[in-house]
Structure 1
């Protein structure tokens, strides 16, 4: 008989993903960015295959050529928008107000619904190209509905200074999850309106304490308020980690797929530890790179004393230093990306995967295949706007 529950194992390792991210980043730089679609596909395949519910790995079957063609389609649309719509807005802004600030504001406002549209379309493409046990995931059309709902919810969040952010998160998650399928089975996101407010409580407390401490420090300049203000910052860091862990737990516990249910127990301190260790490794590597570059500059400048490098010589020898500076810049970008993948993204994926369990899975073998979703632009708009198309 099929098992009644499935735990999720994780098979990813830091070393392989570091070298994969580094190689693909270098190839992306050498191809002036065109390889990014192949790089993203290779990384997703690695991450997906490392997540193994019940020992069966996820599969990502996205095609990088689909991404490239979709990106080109989106670029044509965005070129029309930027070239024509912004020109019209700029004309009327100068004609009516003799300034350009109105044109910039309206241009950004007009771009906002396209950003949310792109995020939903990117999620739909990713799910359509994801499989488990050979069965496809899928997301129903609804990008424009998600777009206008997101604008309303974000406006409400901004007007309330972030107090309704938990409600916004839940509402948008319900919209996305209620349209998500695995095979012929639809996901359901449960939970009442107040489900996530408790997950945000430490953030509220820390901000309140910081505001009080800052006000009292401004009025009385007592050193004790400085300590309290610093403590509020530490509390805020914990609060953000607690929000990420607890909101994931609460929404996961409220999800269903047919008779299947989900449980999760992520730990806030583990999340903080991952970011702290990843940041430490990143700073050590970048500091070493910076010191090595200083040595190179000192050698080119003709002195072994780093503190006495002749700046005039550096300026006069710009042609010699320019290639070194460009190489250092791109090396910095590629190393930062590779270290972030190996020491932050992968450990976070591992933690959230291993603390999640699927229960009531007796009927999982009865789920049947769904039709393949075709996409004309893949993740093109998200790539063109650089939103919602990350790993």
Structure 2
């Protein structure tokens, strides 16, 4: 397709998807999860990605996701071969002494954290290899185990420095991921540096320490953590306010990091400039919280209706018989069904609202905040074949690594 813009002219990124469209897709998927014993989630994940990819347009052409559900299912089954022996080891450790169990659980925890790094890189490799723009496929090289070792080493330094090393870690991992990414036969580059993150991060770090310290001291003085006796509920208010302010600071920093790091990505003579608004990012979480409150209120009303139906016989004699009520609660099939259904609905409501407001909001902010310059230079990029050696995402799904 011929380019419509002159050399170096900025090209906007447009996201055309709507929350209603995604909500309908998710509700249909959730409805099929129970009868399929959860297996439909691989198909739901595939359709969800096609929604995000297909509604993201760069210079009038949308991305294309070519992965399918069977690839994800096969990858998950292969990952089970790793985790079934691990679950057996966990059961064995539970029968041992407390000292052996603690050492064993710690070792398994460290191994899982290491494997999570591999899973993140491997999942990104799969997604890129199934992503096309204008018929040209993306890809990722590099080594997943090398990335896992790098991430694990940085994590140890994070613990040793109480998080102060974070700007160096973040820039290093961003660089590794992007310098091993490809668009056709053209390799990405990365110009970002820890220096872009250090100022915002350390200011946020210092502010969080000050706010957290003030909140803790104020809460203790108001009786939130008494040495003996009952705590004063009002003492938790300063702690809650401090936690909220720290969360807002963290989101503000996240917006700065996303803007700086994505804007450091280069592809030949093309580069992207991304501006993520902290206010807009925070607003997505506010909307999610309000939506969750509304959903849980509706579920609570439904629960009261069920409770009223069960308790109706307890009022049969003109008064309220507590013994009859508890007997009905213990032996009622309606109550049991309501508990199971309520649990599933609460889980579905949380997942649905998080996807509709946080995940969709995050994707939309990145997409609509991006401007691509020099896109016309990509017209000569040659295509490369799909990496068919990748059988799904494997450990990423088993470890519940968050990814679109």
Q: Shift of the alpha carbon at 1:98?
A: 6.0
Q: Quickly say closer, same or farther: Cα 1:209–1:227, change in 2 above 3 A.
A: farther
Structure 1 residues 198-221: Cα deviation after superposition (integer angstroms, max 9, x where no partner): 232453133221243146437866
- Structure 1: runs of 5 or more not aligned: none
Query: Which of residues 358, 362, 365 is equivalent to 2:376?
Result: 362
The match for 1:188 is: 189
Q: Shift of the alpha carbon at 1:264?
A: 1.2
- Superposition RMSD on alpha carbons, in Å? 2.7
Query: Which of residues 385, 391, 397 is equivalent to 1:377?
Result: 391
Within the alignment, does 1:167 sit opposite 2:177 as a pair? no
The match for 1:118 is: 119
Q: Which has the higher contact order (CA 8 A, sep 6+)?
A: 1
Equivalent residues in 2 for 1:320-335, closer than 5 Å? 320-335=334-349
What SS does the corresponding residue of 2:145 show, helix, strand or coil?
helix
Query: Which of residues 251, 275, 288 is equivalent to 1:241?
Result: 251
| Structure-2 separation of matches of 1:381 and 1:371 | 24
| Structure-2 separation of matches of 1:61 and 1:159 | 42
Structure 1 residues 256-279: Cα deviation after superposition (integer angstroms, max 9, x where no partner): 100111111111011111110121
The match for 2:231 is: none
Q: Shift of the alpha carbon at 1:82?
A: 3.7
Q: Shift of the alpha carbon at 1:347?
A: 2.4
Contact 2:215 2:242 in 1 (8 A): no
Q: Quickly say closer, same or farther: Cα 1:77–1:229, change in 2 above 3 A.
A: closer
| Structure-2 separation of matches of 1:181 and 1:115 | 23
For normalisation by structure 2, the TM-score amounts to 0.87
Equivalent residues in 2 for 1:1-391, closer than 5 Å? 2-3=4-5, 4-83=9-88, 94=97, 99-214=100-215, 216-217=217-218, 232-302=242-312, 310=322, 311-388=325-402, 390-391=403-404
Q: Shift of the alpha carbon at 1:238?
A: 2.5
Contact 1:252 1:264 in 2 (8 A): yes
- Structure 2: runs of 5 or more not aligned: 225-234
The match for 2:232 is: none
Structure 1 residues 192-249: Cα deviation after superposition (integer angstroms, max 9, x where no partner): 33221223245313322124314643786699x9997666444323311211211011
Compare 148-157 and 332-341 and name the one that shifted more: 332-341
Q: Quickly say closer, same or farther: Cα 1:219–1:121, change in 2 above 3 A.
A: closer
Q: Quickly say closer, same or farther: Cα 1:81–1:218, change in 2 above 3 A.
A: closer
Q: Quickly say closer, same or farther: Cα 1:314–1:127, change in 2 above 3 A.
A: farther
Q: Shift of the alpha carbon at 1:15?
A: 0.8
Q: Quickly say closer, same or farther: Cα 1:325–1:358, change in 2 above 3 A.
A: same
What SS does the corresponding residue of 2:11 show, helix, strand or coil?
strand
What SS does the corresponding residue of 1:370 show, helix, strand or coil?
coil
| Structure-2 separation of matches of 1:34 and 1:219 | 49
| Structure-2 separation of matches of 1:41 and 1:128 | 14
| Structure-2 separation of matches of 1:153 and 1:44 | 30
Q: Shift of the alpha carbon at 1:186?
A: 0.9
For normalisation by structure 1, the TM-score amounts to 0.89
Q: Shift of the alpha carbon at 1:376?
A: 4.5
| Structure-2 separation of matches of 1:87 and 1:296 | 39
Q: Quickly say closer, same or farther: Cα 1:21–1:309, change in 2 above 3 A.
A: farther
Q: Shift of the alpha carbon at 1:379?
A: 0.7
Contact 2:208 2:249 in 1 (8 A): no
Q: Shift of the alpha carbon at 1:299?
A: 0.9
Structure 1 residues 274-298: Cα deviation after superposition (integer angstroms, max 9, x where no partner): 1101210121121111112111121
